[in-house]
C-alpha cells in the first residue's frame, strides 16, 4: 500500500538535528534578508542577545562571525559600538540545487501557513492591525517599479497578517516560509503589471479580513499564492 510506504517513510525519515549555531545563523540571517531587521539597525548587545536566545555567548559569536564574513552584519568595538545590519546588504545568492528540488514542497508549506494565517487574521485582527496593513498596501502601490522594495513591503504585509493572529508560532512559520520563498524568487523578473495585480489581491485580502470574512480571505489568498506558483512552475524543473 502506498499509504504504509509514505507513512513509514515519514516516520523513519532522517532525523536532522540542526545545531544551535546553525539555527542561530538561520534565524538572524533570514530576519536580515527579509528586512525584519532593517539595514543599519543595531542588534542587541551580545551579552544580552545570548541570554534572550538561550545560548552561550561563544555560540552566538560563532553565528555572528559567520554572518559578518558573509557580509550581512558588521561589528564595531568600544562603548557605543555594537553589531549592525550591513547597509547595503550583500547580493542574494542563487538557490542551491537542493532548494530548487524541493520548491514544490516549499510552496505547499507556505500555502498552509498563509491560509491558516488568513483565516485566523480574519477572526482576530484588531483595528490597529488593519491600519498597519492598509499602510503597507499603499506602500506597495508606490513600489510597483522597484521589485526589491516591493518584495520587502510584501514580506512585511504577510508577516503583518501573521502578527494579527497573535500567534507567535504562526509568525515564526510565516517568516520561515517567506525566507524559503525569497530564496526561490529572488532571481525571477517581476514586471510592474504582475506586481500591480498581486497588490490588488493584497487589497482584497485585507478587505476580507476587515469584514471578518474568513472563507473569502482564504479564497483570495489561494489565488494570490497560485499566481507565484504558476510563475515558478514555468521556470523551474519538475514544474
Partner DNA sequence: GAGCGAAGGACGGAAGAGCAAACCTTTTAC
Partner DNA sequence: GTAAAAGGTTTGCTCTTCCGTCCTTCGCTC
144 binds, among DNA, its own copies, none (CB under 5 to 8 A by kind): none
Q: Which residues bind DNA (CB under 7 A)?
A: 17, 19-22, 43, 45-47, 54-59, 61-62, 64-65, 68, 75-83
Q: With respect to DNA, which residue has the nearer C-beta, 50 or 181? A: 50
How many Cβ atoms sit within 10 Å of the Cβ of residue 48? 10
- Count the site residues for its own copies by CB under 8 A: 60
Choose among 82, 228, 203, 66: nearest CA to 134. Answer: 203
Burial class (CB in 10 A: 0-12, 13-18, 19+), 190: middle
Q: How far apart are CA 102 and CA 110, in angstroms?
A: 12
Binding its own copies (rule: CB under 8 A), the pick from 104, 203, 204, 210 is 104
Residues 81 and 79: their CA atoms lie apart, in Å, by 5
Among positions 87, 93, 108, 142, the unique one binding its own copies when judged by CB under 8 A:
108
> For its own copies, which stretch binds (CB under 8 A), given 31-39, 83-91, 142-150, 201-209?
31-39
Phi and psi, residue 82, nearest 5°: 150, -170
Which three three-digit cell numbers place residue 234? Answer: 514555468
Rounded CA-CA distance 154/209 in Å is: 17
Least separation in angstroms between CB 52 and DNA: 12
In the complex, least distance from residue 72 CB atom to DNA, rounded to whole angstroms: 13
Are the CB atoms for 25 and 66 separated by under 8 Å?
A: yes
235 binds, among its own copies, DNA, none (CB under 5 to 8 A by kind): none
Residues making contact with its own copies (CB under 8 A): 2-3, 6-7, 9-20, 23-24, 27-28, 31, 36-37, 44, 49, 52-55, 104-105, 108-109, 111-113, 115-117, 119-120, 128, 132, 159-160, 163, 165, 167-173, 175, 214-215, 218-219, 222
Amino acid at each position: 500500500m502506498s499509504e504504509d510506504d509514505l507513512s513509514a517513510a515519514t516516520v523513519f525519515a532522517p532525523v536532522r538535528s540542526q545545531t544551535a549555531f546553525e539555527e542561530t545563523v538561520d534565524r538572524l540571517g533570514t530576519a536580515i534578508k527579509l528586512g525584519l531587521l532593517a539595514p543599519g539597525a543595531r542588534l542587541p548587545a551580545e551579552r544580552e542577545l545570548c541570554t534572550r536566545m538561550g545560548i552561550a555567548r561563544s555560540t552566538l559569536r560563532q553565528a555572528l562571525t559567520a554572518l559578518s564574513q558573509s557580509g550581512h552584519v558588521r561589528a564595531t568595538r568600544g562603548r557605543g559600538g555594537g553589531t549592525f545590519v550591513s547597509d547595503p546588504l550583500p547580493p542574494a545568492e542563487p538557490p542551491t540545487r537542493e532548494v530548487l528540488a524541493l520548491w514544490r514542497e516549499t510552496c505547499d508549506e507556505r500555502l498552509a501557513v498563509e491560509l491558516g494565517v488568513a483565516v485566523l487574521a480574519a477572526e482576530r485582527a484588531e483595528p490597529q492591525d488593519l491600519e498597519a496593513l492598509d499602510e503597507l498596501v499603499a506602500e506597495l502601490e508606490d513600489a510597483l517599479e522597484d521589485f526589491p522594495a516591493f518584495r520587502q513591503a510584501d514580506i512585511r504585509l504577510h508577516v503583518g497578517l501573521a502578527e494579527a493572529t497573535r500567534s507567535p508560532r504562526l509568525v515564526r512559520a510565516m517568516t520561515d516560509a517567506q525566507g524559503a520563498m525569497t530564496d526561490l524568487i529572488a532571481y525571477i523578473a517581476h514586471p510592474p503589471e504582475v506586481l500591480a495585480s498581486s497588490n490588488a489581491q493584497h487589497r482584497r485580502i485585507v478587505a476580507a479580513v476587515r469584514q471578518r470574512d474568513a472563507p473569502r480571505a482564504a479564497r483570495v489568498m489561494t489565488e494570490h499564492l497560485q499566481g507565484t506558483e504558476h510563475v515558478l512552475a514555468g521556470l523551474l524543473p519538475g514544474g
